[in-house]
Structure formats: structure tokens, C-alpha cells
Structure 1
Amino acid sequence: MLTAKQVVQINSGKVAGIATSDGQVVSYKGIPFAAPPVVDLRWKAPQPVKPWEGVKECTSFGASPMQGKPVPFSMWSKEFLIPDEPIGEDCLYLNVWTAAKSSKEKLPVLVWIYGGGFQSGGSGVPIYDGEAMARKGIVFVSINYRVGIFGFLAHPELTKESPNKASGNYGLMDQVAALKWVKENIAAFGGDPANVTIAGQSAGSMSVNCMVATPLAKGLFTKAIAESGANFGRNQPSLAPAEEAGVAFAKSVGAAGLADLRKFSPQELMKGQLGIRGPIIDGYVLPQHIADIFGVGKQNPVDLLTGWNQDEGLLFGPVKNASDFKAQISQQYGDNAGKVLTYYPASDDAEASQSQLNLSRDMIFGFQNYAWANVQAKQGKTKVYVYRFTRKVPGTGEYAKYGAFHTGEVPYAYDNLEFVDRPWEAVDRELEATMSSYWANFVKTGNPNGKDLPEWPIYKPDAKQVMLLGTRVEAKPIPGGEALDTMAAILSATK
């Protein structure tokens, strides 16, 4: 029987975790997987952890990466945000939940990568808790990575000092370092380093896409779960313009160069984050555009479970009336405007409002994961499963209007509805049980199907059968498939 405190030997020393009240799951929170990326290590690839003597108590989350204080906004209540504290640059920690009774069990491993637009987020978010998945026989790992200016600053001086002559993708290098840590250490927690799945949502899903693409992560995982995000839209900058943005950033905070930037406090740096967005095509972590890497089959081979949500269109500005929306489409798409308006019509203001949300959903999220599913399925080397989350998440007051919103599927998929304060109904509990079983089965075997679950067909580009996850769970042709195909053709012709 497990005792309240469990000690595990890893490469850098001994760590102590704490068991649940029933003794079935042990969590280890705040394990360092790299040296603190501060002072001279700010904007450098993650460096090895300095080994420690004795036993390190790992019973609480490490600091979330440097970012603004979490404030609930739009559809995201506090359960979807990082804790109020700690927040800081010394953030390269990960967490492990395991139900293994010994290091010999070789349980499947899931590594969770959070979202937040590459500007925010952290592994301590309540809906990312790993206990429920551990109870399903999975070693659950959640990792931190640097965000914002600390994770993605490119600058000519940084490129010059780098042995790889690249800069800007430090957050992605943190993810690779965490995956290497898992490869080297997860067996001590009863996990199987040869059966690792990476998973993420939004920017975390885009990160998963980057990990599948980068040669630096070769051999570190065999399966991927990508929820609402990828990088097939060709809007990632290359190194040169990213360096220019970095030079402009340095000027905006009054820094003469890199030496000055490394002397500034984190708070001073956060005053000038304009123009620093996220991963770039740096020639090292990402040697080519991701669409090109996948196009020639150079990505790491993985089975893939991917999809997006029905109501996750995000508008960055006021809703346009029908006339203004049609004018925008005409200006943006030229001769193809008529085709676009066929699928995103604007006969009146109400229809135009919904079309703006649908177009936003399809361009920011749907098209990305759809393109990934199609290119990988057509190559035929690995299995692909696609979903559409359609459940209108219950809510009261302001939260009642958001439907199947961006991030809404996460607590269902990881069996964590209990962490979210919403008026859940029986159908939500049923969907949580179904989705978390699909996700757990996929992590274990690369196939989401299992006993007493509706059959989830392998995705084929010609049939376009996807799993609708809502009040009913059923396989159907993908909703809006013609619209996605039309937009893909338009974008392909204009790239």
C-alpha cells in the first residue's frame, strides 16, 4: 500500500510526491527539468538542472511563466486560468501524476502542453489536473514553457551568440527539453518512455504541431492529440523579420542591446512586448514552414487525434454589419468573394454576425486542424481521428451565451468537470465519461475506440467522417466540409 509521501529517484536527485487520500494516485508537482532561465540564461536554450542532495519536496506547482496577473475575461472563468501566484521567470518545472505501484509497470504516458496564445498560461491551471487520467492507468505529465517576450524574442545578437545561428523559439526548446526529461526519467514513475503521447489545446495544440514537425523531437513520442490549433496558414514569420521585431522591441524599452536586455527586470521587459507573437521559422527548431515539412513527409510519425469546437470563433474587434462584412470579404478575397459569401452569407446583420464567427472559427482553428488531418491521412503512414466538439457548455449569467467555446472541451476530455463551477447536467457527465475514455484509449493504443463507446472511424479525406461530441456522440460527415475545402483552395491559390 502507498504511504502518504512517495520518494522517486530521477537523474538529478530524489523527489517526494504526495498520495491522494485513498492512496491510489501520487502527484509530484514542481519538478525542475531545466536550470532557471534567468540572468545570463535568459533567452538561451534550456540548460541541464544542477543535481541536488537529499530529497526535494515536490508537493506544489512551480511558478507559472512570467506574464500578467490572471484576470477572468470573456468565456474564461478562473478555472481556465493560472493561479494568482507564483508567477516568475524561474518557471521550467513539470508535474507528474501516477497510479503505478512500482517502476516496472510501463504505463502509457501523456504529456500536456497548455495554451494561452504563447503569451500566457501554465501547468497549474485547475482544468489541467492529472489525477483523473492517472486513475485511468495513464502517467500524466504537465509541463511549463516560457511565453511572451521571454519565450519568443528573436534578435540579431541572440542569433549571433547561438551555436545554431538561430533565435526566437526558446519556448519550443523548453518543450523539447521537457520531452527529453520524460524519455530519461518517466520509467521511475512507472511510465513507458516508448509509449508517450503529447497533447495540447490552442497554442498548446500549435505547440504539438511544432513538436511533430521539429527534428529536435525525433523519437520522443509516438502519438499526438491536437485540440484547436496548428500552423498550416503560413503566417509564421521567418528569422529575419522576427529579428527586426526584436530590435524594435529593444528600442521600445530603451535597451542599447542584448547586454542591457539581460539586465532589465522582468517587469520592465513586459512593458514592451509588442510584435513578439510566438514560434517562428528559425532554421533550427523549425527548419522550414510546417506546411512544407508535412508536405514532403519529413514530420515525426505519429497517430493523430485532432479536432476543434463548434463555437470557438474569436473576433478581434466589433462585429460588422452585413454591408461592412461584405465589403471586407470583397476587399480581402477579390474575385473569390462570391465563393466565400456562399458559405459565410450576410443577407442581414444577424446572419452576417454569425458568419463572422464561423469564418473566424474556420480560419483560426478549423482550417488548421483540418489541413493537418488531410495531409497526414493522405500520406497513409499513421492513423488519424477527427472530432468536432458541439456541446454548448452550460453557464449562468454572462457565461450562458458562449456555447461550445474555445477551451470548453478540455475539462470533458480529461475528466475534470469537477474543477469548473458550471450547472452541469447529466448529459455533461455522460459526455465527460465518453470523451475521457476516448482520449485515454488513444493514449494507450493509438485508437480511441473501446467497449461500450460509439465507433469512431479512422478519418479518410474522401469520406470526411468525424466524431461529433455533444448531446449525442456519433460519427457524421464533417459539418461545413465544403466551406473548409473552398477556403483551403482559395488560400492555396494565393499563398
Structure 2
Amino acid sequence: MKTRHFDRHSLGLLCLPALLPPLGVSAALFDRVVETKYGPVQGVAAFSSAPVGNISGWQNVGVWKGVPYAATTAGANRWRPPQDPVSWTETLDTSVFGPACPESQGDSATVSEDCLNLNIWSNANSTDDKLPVIMWAHPAGSAGSDALFDGGGMAAKGVVFVTINYRDGAFGWLAHPQLSAEVYHETGSNSSGNWGMLDQFAALKWIQANIAAFGGDPELITTAGQSAGSAAAYHIVNSPLVKGIPKRAIAESGVRDPRDPEAGSLAESYNNLTTAYVLGEAFLTANGATTITELRAIPLAELNDTASAPGSGGGFRATLDYYAMPATYATSLSRPPTNDIPFITGNTKDESGASTTTNLTVAQYVADMQAQYGPFNLSAVALDLYPAVNASEADASYNQHWQDTSRVSSWGYARGWYLGGAKSPIYTYFWDHAPPGQTQGAYHESEINYVLNNLYATDKPWEALDYAIAAKMSAYWANFAATGDPNLGGYYSPGDSNGNGEPLVTWNPTLGNKTITMRLGDGWAPIPIAEPAQIAFLDEYFSDQIPY
């Protein structure tokens, strides 16, 4: 067996005997060679023994790791749209994860610019199974190979689960007039900067073209992710470059009311082209280069990937280029989305300002609220609605204020979704379960293990309650991928090998005239997004802002 390498010109290939069952014979797909558009691949069993948790049918789950969906991004391909991968003829061994992209290492031991690869989990027995597909985009600083995103639990439910790598930091978002001139020559758009976004689009197109070979339905793809990965889902929903491909979208810790100032600092935030150019010029200067050609010639190990510069307006992130990203956040919400598809979005209890370890004094709390709301003559109202007479109440009010802000903001996006003309339903949620063995509460990312039903993949001291919650959460997500409705699709909780189990609590779409969201985690029921007075206060505050 030859060793796997990741240079597309010297792909390590595995020569296999021709004693594999023909397609159509009932056997797990990882037991045979699978043909992609670029060459054959051989998967492996995802589990070597029964995983702990609600994972029935684990023996049939296969995984294909490090499958290239685009060529290397090094050298002349640095800061270019993703290029087609180099084809191969011998069978590619996909038993090992591929490299992560620079600035997105996550758990990976290997980082390379030859990083545009994806990982596929499937329990299909046939290429004709046409199972629903989820494409998962990782958060910033992570990689598709991270244990947190292991797809075996979802695959056991009959969902083909795909994690992708994409460029981030300077490699994914650098804009510069010289790059814009190249893009203009190729596309007619005088803009640049969204290489990571274009990677996500390319991965989606690869999945559409190839996923049937892994038992997936190319006409039933859900784009999903958390934090920066939720931004990927949002941009895919709105970009004309992938029109018609996705059929559902899930943005965890995701989209907000564009009037909410937090929209400009969280995952879906972006720079305008002018700001992006300032950052790009500073990046060239930091590397002693005057041209993009010189910058591309600098070896990866010697590149100063400084992510911010004085006057840049912040670090590298998406660019409002009116090409990959066709409009501002507010403008996109004011009209029907390019891909008008069922959408899930929501937040966790202890993120976006809220925390279990605030430790504010009353004076500090009052000063924070006055700084935020004083310029809009709303600080007195804020302190009346969220009072603090001692440090304990200051902590509680501070966190309640940010939790309310998240719920009201998600609802505001949902309201805009309908007012802008979207016909598909949108579902919002609020996750409040704190995983065991930590003190951060229901922190940013805390829902992921439960959503993906992969508690076996991480080492927290899970309890019976956690496995029950994971069964319910993943059932909602699997149902949604299958039908566009989290309540329908045949998945129940906890469920047995015959699919029998406790019916899920009905999760209704978030309609603009109903100020409710779905509580998930420590409870399963529709809840108000906030008290009427708090909703009116936050809506007034949002109305005083410049829409993002």
C-alpha cells in the first residue's frame, strides 16, 4: 500500500483488488470503490466498535476522509477562486483526514495550502438510496476534521453528512485592487476578497455533482454551520452563484436583525471594499511586498499573516463585493432570498454578551448600560427594565439583557424574512443546556455535540440526560434535512432500532406577529422571546441604528 500524500501531482493511491461487490448489491458503500467525477475513492468503517449513545446501525456507517474538492491554493492559486482538483485514476485511500487550511487548524496535525478537502459520512447501501445531505461549515479556527464535527451520529440516522475545509484569515479574505483586476478579467466583477466564501460555494457544487455516489440526494442538500459556519449558510442562501443548489439552511449562533449593532461584530459581519483594501495594503506592507505576484511567491512558513492593521477597521472577514455577496445584510433581508428555502437559526444562552462569569459591580453594570444606551436616551429605560441593586442582580440583569437581545434579534431577522417576501418557513431556537464538566454554561458551540448526536466523539463526562437531549436535538435536525420541517421525517427521541420513540414537541415556524421562539435543551417548548416591555425597548433601540 502506498503512503497517502497531499500534493495533487503525487496523490498517494491505493491499488485494490477487483473483488468488490458490484454496485446495487446490498452492502455498506465503504466496502467498495466509489467513483467521483475526478477519480475513485475507497472509504473505511467509521466505527471500530459500538459507540456510546443513541447510535443504532453504526456498523453500516462509512467515512471518506480528505477527499479533494479543489486544487491546492498555494503559489499562483493563492488568492484565486478555487480551481478544479487534479483528477486521478488509481483508487484514493481516504482513511486519513486531509490537511487543514492555514489559520483554521483546529485539531488537525497537518496544515497546508493544499487543504480544500472534505469528509463524508454515510450509511447508504446503494448509490440509489438518495439520502438527505448536510454540508457542515466549521467555525473560525476549526477544521472539518475536528472531533466536535464527527458525522457518524448523523449518518447513522440516514443523513449523508459532509464537513468541509475552507480558507480563512488572510488566505480566505484578502482584498486588494490588483486582485480585483484579476477577478474583473475573469468575471466582470471589479472586486475581491471572498476566497473562503468561494471555497464554500465550490464545496457545495462538488457535493451536488458527486454525492449520489455516496448514497446522497443531490437535490436535497442542507447547508449548515455554527458561528463562522453559520455565515457560510447565510451567504449560500443569498448568493446567486449557487442559486438552486441548497434546499434547506441551518445557521447556529447565526443571523440577527440587521439593525442590531451586534450584527456588525459577529459571524455574518463584513467589510466594505474600501476597508478591505486598507487591510490588504497593510498586509502587503507587512510582508515587504508591492505586488500580489511577490506576495504569492513568499513561502507559507515565511508569510506574515497579520490579521489586522491600524485604520483597517478590523480583521480579515467577508467583503461586500456585490459578486459572491450580492448586497448588504439589510438589503438582502428586504427582498426574497436568492434561495428561498426553509431556514433554522438561533442562539445559545451564554454567548453574545451573556456569560456565567460576569462578576460586575453595580457601578460597572450601570456604566456599561449607560455607555450602550445613553447616546439614544434609553439608559434610564434600560436600567428600569434590567435593574441592579447589588452585584448579584447586576450579573443577572446584564446576562438577561444579552439573552433577550439574542432572542429578539433572531426574531427580528425572522420577521424581516417574511416581510421581505420569503415564502419558506423560518424556525428560531434558544439553546439553554450546559454540557457537564465545565463552568461556562450553555456556551458558544455547546449545542454542536447534541445536534450531531456525536457525544461519543468528545471526552466530557456525559450523563444519561445528555444522551437523551442529543437524541431529541439530532432528530429535529435530521427531520429538517429530510423534509424542511423539524417535526416531520420519521425521527423521534430517544428512538429504538425500529424508529419507535417519544414524539418530539412541535416546533412551529417563527412568524412575525408571534414573538416566540423554541426552547431546546433543558426544556422543549415554545417560549416568549422576552417580556413585551423588553421587546419594545430593544426594538426601539434597533430602530435608532443604521441597518447593517
**TM-score with structure 1 length normalisation?**
0.89
Instruction: Report whether the alignment pairs 1:410 with 2:448.
Output: yes
In 1, Cα distance between equivalents of 2:88 and 2:462: 45
2:524 alignment counterpart: 473
Are the counterparts in 2 of residues 229 and 368 from structure 1 also a CA contact under 8 Å?
no
Moved more, 315-324 or 443-452: 315-324
Secondary structure of 1:237 counterpart: strand
Cα distance per residue 1:50-82 (max 9 Å; x no partner): 21121111111111111276xxxxxxxxxxxx2
Specify the code of the residue in structure 1 equivalent to 2:525. Answer: E
Unaligned stretches of 5+ residues in structure 2: 1-26, 49-57, 309-313, 493-502
Q: Percent identity?
A: 35
Cα distance per residue 1:300-357 (max 9 Å; x no partner): 2010122111112458999653323433433333212223334444433333344444
In 2, Cα distance between equivalents of 1:388 and 1:442: 17
**TM-score with structure 2 length normalisation?**
0.81
Moved more, 216-225 or 12-21: 12-21
Match of 1:124 among 145, 159, 174: 145
Instruction: Report whether the alignment pairs 1:89 with 2:113.
Output: yes
- Counterparts in 2 of 1:304-383, with a 5 A limit? 304-314=343-353, 321-333=361-373, 334=375, 335-359=377-401, 366=407, 369-378=410-419, 379=421, 381-383=423-425
Match of 1:294 among 311, 315, 333: 333
Closer/same/farther in 2, CA of residues 320 and 266 from structure 1, 3 Å limit: farther
In 1, Cα distance between equivalents of 2:463 and 2:64: 32
Alignment RMSD (CA, Å): 2.4
Closer/same/farther in 2, CA of residues 470 and 343 from structure 1, 3 Å limit: farther
Are the counterparts in 2 of residues 330 and 337 from structure 1 also a CA contact under 8 Å?
yes
Are the counterparts in 2 of residues 311 and 358 from structure 1 also a CA contact under 8 Å?
no
Secondary structure of 1:44 counterpart: coil
Instruction: Report whether the alignment pairs 1:263 with 2:297.
Output: yes
Are the counterparts in 2 of residues 230 and 372 from structure 1 also a CA contact under 8 Å?
yes
2:82 alignment counterpart: 46
Compute the displacement of 1:286 (Å). 1.1
In 2, Cα distance between equivalents of 1:286 and 1:368: 22
Closer/same/farther in 2, CA of residues 191 and 485 from structure 1, 3 Å limit: farther
Q: Which stretches of structure 1, 4 residues or longer, exceed 6 Å deviation after superposition?
A: 315-319
2:475 alignment counterpart: 437
Instruction: Report whether the alignment pairs 1:12 with 2:51.
Output: no
Closer/same/farther in 2, CA of residues 461 and 159 from structure 1, 3 Å limit: same
Cα distance per residue 1:368-416 (max 9 Å; x no partner): 5333322224445111222111112211xxx2x2111110001001101
Secondary structure of 1:34 counterpart: coil
Instruction: Report whether the alignment pairs 1:104 with 2:115.
Output: no
Instruction: Report whether the alignment pairs 1:458 with 2:494.
Output: no
Compute the displacement of 1:479 (Å). 4.2
- Counterparts in 2 of 1:243-262, with a 5 A limit? 243-262=277-296
Closer/same/farther in 2, CA of residues 4 and 443 from structure 1, 3 Å limit: closer
Closer/same/farther in 2, CA of residues 355 and 62 from structure 1, 3 Å limit: farther
In 1, Cα distance between equivalents of 2:361 and 2:515: 33
- Counterparts in 2 of 1:153-172, with a 5 A limit? 153-163=174-184, 164-172=189-197
Specify the code of the residue in structure 1 equivalent to 2:431. Answer: F
Are the counterparts in 2 of residues 153 and 276 from structure 1 also a CA contact under 8 Å?
no
Which has the higher Rg, Structure 1 or Structure 2? 2
Closer/same/farther in 2, CA of residues 463 and 98 from structure 1, 3 Å limit: same
The number of aligned residues is 475
Are the counterparts in 2 of residues 253 and 272 from structure 1 also a CA contact under 8 Å?
no
Are the counterparts in 2 of residues 213 and 294 from structure 1 also a CA contact under 8 Å?
no
In 1, Cα distance between equivalents of 2:195 and 2:78: 9
Closer/same/farther in 2, CA of residues 382 and 342 from structure 1, 3 Å limit: farther
In 1, Cα distance between equivalents of 2:538 and 2:446: 25
Compute the displacement of 1:108 (Å). 0.8
Unaligned stretches of 5+ residues in structure 1: 70-81
Specify the code of the residue in structure 1 equivalent to 2:390. Answer: D
In 1, Cα distance between equivalents of 2:211 and 2:29: 20
Are the counterparts in 2 of residues 66 and 89 from structure 1 also a CA contact under 8 Å?
yes
